[in-house]
Amino acid sequence: MDRVVITGIGVVSPVGLGVEAFWNNLLAGVCGIVPITRFDTAGYKAKLAGEVNDFRAEDFMDKREARRMDRYCQFAVAATRMAVEDAAADFTGDADTVGAYIGSGIGGILTLEAEHQKLMERGPGRVSPFFIPMMISNMASGAVSMAFGIKGASYCPVSACASGAHAVGEAFLAIQRGELTACLAGGAEAAITPLSLAGFSNMTALSSADDPALGLLPFDRRRAGFIMGEGAGILMLESLERARARGARIYCEVAGYGATSDAYHITSPDPEGAGAARAMTRAMAQAGLAPREITYINAHGTGTQLNDAVETVALHRALGEAAAQVAVSSTKSMTGHLLGAAGGIEAAASVLAVYGDAMPPTIHYEERDPACDLDYVPNTARRAPVYAALSNSFGFGGHNASLLFRKYEA
């Protein structure tokens, strides 16, 4: 099996567009969570979100094409273009062996709500003929394949908040098996909409804070729910042979991937953390790494009371005594929770941590919780050698995914 490496990164996020802005702002502890501007939140308990407010689709694609895409799909194409340019990739001659694996937990809900309103107010004849292809979750991978002329496998994992991580992991396995030589993989989401906000809020998953500094507080005793975010994170994965042949810059190696199911509850994690721990253990086993060799963990860290406590249990279970020494942080404290895109941008953060020997912080961390007793890199980024990093993503329905990135060594 060939080794798999990361050669390009593209990010659309609430803390910046492009890999440089994204990474610099994460290390600076910049908070992208703001009061919602898209619609009137009067009557809503939740009023904050991680909005992407400096994005212009026409900077990345033809205006006519952009009008036929939901916002989540625009994000995916834009982030992919960034990743392709960052990798200096050219698919001439091997497009049949390059894939597009782009997950989305919710897909085109913005389009769904807009077209449903047309139906109710103006009748069925006014619903757009582009409604279905704009709404369906697989269209991001389809649009990316068309935009870049790549003709290998193209599909969309839909596993709630683990979608983006599953996409990267499955792309890694496909390249390892020799089915693909390269793959553009990650996640995209744009679900900051009235219906979506109401649904998540009414199930008591969202924070009702008005102050962004009190919004999403991963692992802090005061945590009271997550804040929705939006964006996309796409990685360019390549076989080491392909990357070397074209003289590509290599960020790091994809060394392991674990995917499991809790088989426990539709929204709550298994309180024993068994499924999450098995995902991490499988990723480490595939990489041939011991727990003591893990330097940094980009946690799922949603800022909900139960999830953060259970993830801490899972970390202890997977790492044993080494859990006390590993640095853990939740970049959701800055970006909000990007749902199906979370695994994509958090994988990007983990790759950059390994490549740049720096660990982004968990911001707004003030009050220690006895149930969350690890080193959460509070408030300030940490500069130190990072040999190996785990990126965790866990979704409603009990979906668990853990990705392991390791320093590239020739």
Spatial separation of the C-alpha atoms in residues 224 and 210, rounded to whole Å: 12
Cβ atoms of residues 311 and 218 within 8 Å: no
- The secondary element (H helix, E strand) that includes residue 182 is strand 182-189
- The SS3 call for residue 279 is helix
What token pair was written down for 134? Answer: 């704009």
Give the residue from 187, 181, 176, 94 showing the smallest Cα distance to 137: 187
Please identify which residue in the block is written with the tokens 């062996």: 97
Residue 394: the pLDDT is 98
Residue 187: the pLDDT is 98
Residue 1: the pLDDT is 77
Residue 345: the pLDDT is 98
Give the residue from 319, 96, 329, 121 showing the smallest Cα distance to 218: 329
pLDDT tens, residue by residue, 67-107: 999 999 999 999 999 999 999 999 999 999 999 999 999 99
pTM over 0.95: yes
**Taking the alpha carbons of 283, 289, 292, 298 in that order, is the dihedral positive or negative?**
negative
Q: What is the DSSP letter of 312?
A: H
Backbone phi and psi for residue 223, each to the nearest 5 degrees, phi listed first: -60, 140
pLDDT tens, residue by residue, 131-168: 999 999 999 999 999 999 999 999 999 999 999 999 99
Residue 227: the pLDDT is 98
Task: Assess whether pLDDT exceeds 80 at residue 226.
Answer: yes
Q: Write the DSSP assignment of 175-220 as a string of letters.
A: HHTTS-SEEEEEEEE---SHHHHHHHHHTT-B---SSGGGT--TTB
Structural domains in the chain, sorted by start: 4-245 (3.40.47.10), 256-406 (3.40.47.10)
Residue 2: the pLDDT is 87
pLDDT tens, residue by residue, 11-27: 999 999 999 999 999 99
Spatial separation of the C-alpha atoms in residues 31 and 319, rounded to whole Å: 30
Percent of the chain with pLDDT over 90: 99
Residue 167: the pLDDT is 98
pLDDT tens, residue by residue, 32-62: 999 999 999 999 999 999 999 999 999 999 9
Percent of the chain with pLDDT over 70: 100
Cβ-based neighbours of 362, under 8 Å, separated by 6 or more: 218, 219, 301, 328, 329, 330, 333, 376, 377, 378, 379
Q: Write the DSSP assignment of 93-125 as a string of letters.
A: TTGGGEEEEEE-SS-SHHHHHHHHHHHHHH-GG
Give the residue from 93, 91, 65, 96 showing the smallest Cα distance to 78: 65
Spatial separation of the C-alpha atoms in residues 99 and 275, rounded to whole Å: 29
Spatial separation of the C-alpha atoms in residues 246 and 249, rounded to whole Å: 9
Q: What is the separation of C-alpha 287 from the centre of its chain, rounded to a whole number of angstroms? A: 21
- The secondary element (H helix, E strand) that includes residue 16 is strand 16-17
108, 147, 162 from 157: Cα distances, Å: 15, 20, 9
Q: Which residues are catalytic?
A: 161, 300, 337
Spatial separation of the C-alpha atoms in residues 187 and 32, rounded to whole Å: 19
Task: Assess whether pLDDT exceeds 90 at residue 408.
Answer: yes
Cβ-based neighbours of 128, under 8 Å, separated by 6 or more: 115, 118, 134
pLDDT tens, residue by residue, 349-389: 999 999 999 999 999 999 999 999 999 999 999 999 999 99
pLDDT tens, residue by residue, 232-246: 999 999 999 999 999
Q: How many CA atoms lie within 13 A of 148 on its CB side?
A: 36
Determine the angle formed by the axes of helices 163-176 and 342-356, rounding to 10 degrees. Answer: 60
Indicate the pairing of strand 154-155 with strand 4-13: unpaired
Spatial separation of the C-alpha atoms in residues 43 and 120, rounded to whole Å: 22
